[in-house]
Amino acid sequence: MSPTAPRVLPAPPQHHIATRPTKVSSSTTFFPRRRRRRRTKTPPIIALRRPKKATPTERGVPARGNFDDEKTTVDGVTKTLREESRSHPTFYPSERIGDRVMYASDVFEFTGSKEEFQMMQERFERRQNTDLMEVESEIENVSSVDRNVFLVRWNVTFVPAKLAWLQKVARNWPFGEVDVERKDMLHKMGERTKFTYKALFQTLKRMAVEKKLTMPVAKIEGQTKMTFANEKLTRIEERLSLVQSVNSNRVRNKRICRDLLEFYDTRKPIGMDFKTYDEMVESKVDIYSVLGMRTLDVDGMDDQQGNIEDVTAVLGFMTLFVLSFGVGIGSWYFDALRKDALMQKILDADF
């Protein structure tokens, strides 16, 4: 090698990086990257609702029960009871009664013609309005339980015979008009009550000072199932709540038991004497399970000391009674004798 020739250096070694070849399928198509759009919230779609269909009541059509037909409805029966039958199912108008009628109560059953049932209706109504003092009837509810079958809940309130004198005192109070509030005693059917002069004096004192009287009236609650055929009443089933209460020994108050018997006195069938009817009632209603209802049970014998709780109250009562009603006591006595004579005449004629 010549000394003047350029010196050639060997090339540096090259390092090759092994890479895997990329295989591209002939069916693969590359698309350009699209620009993402900005999403905007769309307002919700408001569905247009159809107007609500008016109910039959809103359209003026009478309300109907589940078993009402086109002719006999709950509203129709209710209207007839309140406007034409003096708010009592037993006194349903005769022109709406079928040719054959069946009547059943807790005490007796009757099946007869329309005319016979009408006579019994008239007797029941006459006795109720005559024998019961200041009687009031009310229809609580009417519902359909089957086709052409209706259940009527009702009640009757009246002043018991033993408290008729107190009602007369309030009506003829010499110190001004008395505001009389009627209140039943059914909530006390399980309690024993007794008469006390102190309570009586407090009652008269309240009438004199406040001109107010809370009159404990008798209340008979019942339900009657009425069955119709061709718009005519053909069957009446009458049940009293107090009968079930007495027979199940839930009644301890003899006052309430006497109210029940007083009401049943107005339901004596035509042609049946009082003795037979009383025996029939006693066989169906366990009245002697109530303390104080037996013949030898005398009011006050079990607690003589409690009947006169305060001597001052007794003297005050007697003084107030004599001063206030000494003038009219004679007329009341003779009026009572006249009514006793009239009642005996009615019993003799089987009124």
pLDDT digit string (tens) for 88-116? 899 999 899 999 999 999 999 999 999 99
The predicted pLDDT at position 111 comes to 94
Q: Quick check: 82 pLDDT over 50?
A: yes
- Residue 138 burial (10 A CB sphere; 0-12, 13-18, 19+): middle
| Tokens standing for residue 19 | 């890479």
Mean pLDDT of the chain: 78
> How sure is the predictor about 137, in pLDDT bands with cuts at 50, 70 and 90?
very high
Between CA 129 and CA 348 the distance in angstroms is 20
Between CA 235 and CA 297 the distance in angstroms is 40
Long-range contacts of 177-182 (CB under 8 A, 24+ apart): 177/211, 178/207, 178/211, 178/212, 178/213, 179/211, 179/212, 179/213, 180/213, 180/215, 181/212, 181/213, 181/214, 181/215, 182/157, 182/215, 182/217
> How sure is the predictor about 302, in pLDDT bands with cuts at 50, 70 and 90?
very low
The residue-averaged pLDDT of 135-148 equals 94
> How sure is the predictor about 208, in pLDDT bands with cuts at 50, 70 and 90?
confident
The residue-averaged pLDDT of 265-287 equals 93
Between CA 273 and CA 284 the distance in angstroms is 17
CATH T-level topology, domain 74-348: Nuclear Transport Factor 2; Chain: A, (3.10.450)
The predicted pLDDT at position 228 comes to 96
Q: Quick check: 259 pLDDT over 60?
A: yes
| pLDDT-above-90 percentage for the chain | 46
Between CA 171 and CA 116 the distance in angstroms is 39
The three-state secondary structure class of 223 is strand
Domain ranges of the chain: 74-348
The three-state secondary structure class of 152 is strand
Tens of pLDDT, residues 142-158? 999 999 999 999 999 99
The predicted pLDDT at position 198 comes to 79
Q: Quick check: 35 pLDDT over 70?
A: no
Least confident residue range of 247-251, 305-309, 316-320: 305-309
Which helix (H) or strand (E) element contains residue 79? helix 74-84
| pLDDT-above-70 percentage for the chain | 63
The predicted pLDDT at position 156 comes to 96
Number of Cβ atoms within 10 Å of the Cβ of 241: 16
- Listed in sequence order, the residues at least 6 apart from 196 whose beta carbon sits closer than 8 Å to its beta carbon are 306, 307, 309
